[in-house]
Structure 1
Amino acid sequence: MHAWPASEVPALPGKGRDLRIHDTATGGLVTLDPGPVARIYVCGITPYDATHMGHAATYNAFDLVQRVWLDTKRQVHYVQNVTDVDDPLLERAVRDGIEWEGLAERETALFREDMTALRMLPPQHYIGAVEAIPGIVPLVERLRDSGAAYELEGDTYFSVEADPHFGSVSNLDAAAMRLLSAERGGDPDRPGKKNPLDPMLWMAARDGEPSWDGGSLGQGRPGWHIECVAIALDHLGMGFDVQGGGSDLAFPHHEMGASHAQALTGEFPMAKAYVHAGMVGLDGEKMSKSKGNLVFVSALRRDGVDPAAIRLALLAHHYRSDWEWTDQVLADAVARLDRWRAAVSRPDGPSAEALVDEIREALADDLDAPTALIAVDRWAEAQSAGGGTDEGAPGVVSRAVDALLGVAL
């Protein structure tokens, strides 16, 4: 599966700072010090509907992580999956009377278009669950053969007891885990499981649903969590720098994935930091496909909204915060974009050296994009007041905003 084209990242003078970021597992800020190549895995979409603002906010956060790393003169090895076979996708295809493969292909293509328009840097490896199945099956067989998995009525489950570190990502108690498991794709009430929290690794073939050859596992399809584990281990290995996604993935998805990988390898941890973006709401509720309260990136683009304004609307909120999308949020972003473009269109202005340093400092401090935006606002205000005669300043600002914030002026 191919990703989307990369926008050019302008080179800036000097060098950025190492990133301090909030790690869900420890509950505090950690300073990341990757080697020459920083490794990041971000969980991708289940392509049964278009990219909404919650998706965009999440991918914007991890795009900033990449930009901070690139500014430290590191390379970035970024991997993202596409869950192109799963219950929600199959259910939507049945509802709409279309083939599930066509639905997945259509929505993945639209996602690529949205990411390109928003100038999100693409992953080096963009892997669909279906194409990963040949690598998933041997991992499930290894877990079963080691006693870390068991069969129940043809399905194969992972035993959470097999990982002594289970629970160390989300740090939730058993009661909270059970509630979230039921809400987020698990089946804690299924009779016969060793532990209600045990997640499915391989689902035996069901009538009317797609299935693949699972070797000794029989015909079926993979569970959600093992999909990402197989892709991450194949392309990044254990101990990669950041596992990223929305805050609703901390449990069960990232918790279970970490346990799968740790049971497979005997190593800990799977990732050095588990980083989670907040939820975007609309009309007082989390924006989600199940609720249908969605604002789509593609719909805004069709209405003529500049993607740079959409990106500024996302950047105006700290990535870990939960916030609500409103017409005013977009209007403020459009006005900000107009002010910034007017400012950099002038032939000279105040020195930009301090501003570049402020943007770098803000982003290195847990991706504090709102503070970075306020710094650019101050420079634009001074520019509009006629302050400064540095002929190179507008160009420096334009390149810095592009390189570090992903906004083309």
Structure 2
Amino acid sequence: MDITNADATVAAIGAPADGGEQRNNLTVAQLLLEYLKLEQATTIFGIPGGAAVWIIDELKKQNTTFDFVVCRQETGAAYMAHGFARAGGGLGVVLTTSGPAAANALSRTVNANAAGCPLLAITGEVAEKFFGMGYLQEGIDVDLDIDTIYRNAVAYSAVIASQSDAATLIEQALRVAQSQPSRAAHLSIPNDVAGTCVTGSDTTNPYTIWFPSAPSRYRTVPSSTDDAAVKLAFGDLSSATRPLIFLGNGARAALSDTHRLARFQKLVAKWALPIMTTPDAKGIFPEDHALSLRNYGITACAWPDVYMGAAPGKPSQFDALMVLGSSLGELATTVSNAQPFSQSLIPTEHFIHVDLDEGMIGRNFPITRGIVGDVGATIEALVEAATGKNPDPAPTKARLQLIAGIKATTSPFAIPKAAIPRTPRHIRPRSCASSTRR
């Protein structure tokens, strides 16, 4: 079968003809921005600097596409990128120059990695020809080895040392950052490499490369669960007298889908399944919902403990717990410093833990059923398992009355017992400082 010259060119550079398009004469800086556009990551936080000049210059040229938010300090820029991603902005991107600037962005990048938040840290670097010569703010062949620091702190770090491997390393960074659970990744780009044209494998057209048509051409994420196990888990919940669902930050992406959230709300309302969240997952389920017990763990609402029947020296009174997307770490499970990893979380019958990372399941609490799976797929499987079934009206009604009674008689605040009233008065820094010295 004959192929066209265009198809032959695409074949020569190692890509399927229907999976993208040819791009010519792209610099590494331009290629990086093309990938960010493909990922719809067009808001970038950072501070301009000489070692990132090619990227900064390209951002200026493409200012109708990219919004470069100039910050006061690199740590703050990484905080903003993390917050932007958590608020539903997609991939968070922070851009800094080399050396100390890159180090300044590290702490929040590490935090994003630990929180399972998709973040890409891009740091400039001095030109390769100056490596090891004591060039200002070098971060490679010196004591301040930026790549090694990031490599030991986040899920992925690489130095794009050649224009020929730029696409491979950029795609790998995006693959890691956008995985499930999401992570933080880092790319260091020497200044001379950033301004060099990307080369492909076709020696007759060295500056022609194949560029993917969609992120699905180079990455994918898990989207499945154990349907049979979820069906059994639903049976555990639906047969319980006092069931409870505990949402972690790992459920954030799943419930950011408004249609899935609506289906989930319909499910819990029909079966009277109360919801609480970890502190890190606050806001992913509406706290004004009749079945919301707000959050458990550090700075917890008082309602979950009352519902679970938790009391010092006494076993819990609830009989089923389903944890969706939480590692059940200290902050998520500790209400009092006197009892870290509160044993009040252990139900009398069924402890179900769902997480994509099997290393988190059963780590801190004994479980009766562990499910390795995507939280979104698990929620869909729960909805499917409940289809065509109806709850027993007596225990359902009793739970609704119990929850309403808890909210009517128990302040959600431990200390103080009531919300502090807001006043229109301004807080003056001098008065604030004066009061702390008393």
> What's the TM-score, normalizing by structure 1?
0.28
Q: Which has the larger radius of gyration?
A: 2
Please, what TM-score do these two structures have when normalized by structure 2? 0.27
Please state which structure has a larger fraction of its residues in helix.
Answer: 1
